[in-house]
Amino acid sequence: MSALHLIRHGAVAELRLDNPAKLNAFTVEMLEALDNHCAELERDGAVRAVVISAEKSRAFCAGADITAWSELEPWDFARHWVRDGHRVFDRLARLSRPTIAAIAGHAFGGGLEFAATADIRIMAPDATLALPEAGVGIVPGWSGTQRLIRLLGEPLVKEMALMGRRLSAERALASGFVAELSDDPRTAAMAMAESLTDKSPRSIEVAKYMIHAAAGEDRGAMIETLGAGMISPTDDRDEGVTAFREKRKPDFSGK
């Protein structure tokens, strides 16, 4: 059984890390579970918001389980571990539902990259963020030098990735990476998620697409998704499909 669970609380879904013995570090099985959960969430129209959390531990997530990748051949490490993790985290970041991360503990390496996929982050005052990869002879691989640049900015990411410095909750809040601090981030995140359930789900979805397109998060797909949403309700679209099925020339009205 994977140590990453999908739990439903009515219209709010929760993605919960559950590997406390290893400080909630990611394994191959957890990445596969996250991929499957994202696919399930996209198909479930009853879900209006998603909370990303972790079982109580000193760490929200310590990153990638070193025993899961250290024995891999170099190209397998690059082609599979890094690319698969990047692909799965991208899928979570581009989920059509709003996501809120509850960071109750340190988020290091892949754990920070996991939190960065969320739309909104709430953090415990005593938690810290870090990119410690240089200390074990590797580099960030799941968007630490890409998505985090957009969210934290180049100077802070360089400070963390090159020097190994930890980012405090206060600095994370001041940078805008974290929306608020809370002694109980999960409860605060659940309350925020519940507040989203009385908003228009279509308005939230389209607003997220527009913001992602502006920020460069999968811009091409976001623009084409919005275009498809505009063209799908038109009479011309219906006429084109009908004409194709009836093997005749379409008579477009422009409506």
**Annotation says 133 is catalytic:** yes
Pairing of β 106-108 and β 49-54: unpaired
Cα separation, 34 vs 41, whole angstroms: 10
Q: What is the pLDDT of residues 129-145, one digit of tens each?
A: 999 998 888 888 888 88
End-to-end CA distance of the chain: 52
Catalytic residue among 73, 113, 217, 224: 113
pLDDT for position 226: 87
**Annotation says 205 is catalytic:** no
**pLDDT above 90 (res 83):** no
Catalytic residue among 14, 42, 73, 133: 133
Q: What is the pLDDT of residues 7-31, one digit of tens each?
A: 999 999 999 999 998 999 998 899 9
Cα separation, 245 vs 175, whole angstroms: 55
**pLDDT above 60 (res 1):** no
- Quick one: average pLDDT of 196-225? 91
Helix (H, G, I), strand (E, B) or coil at 54: strand
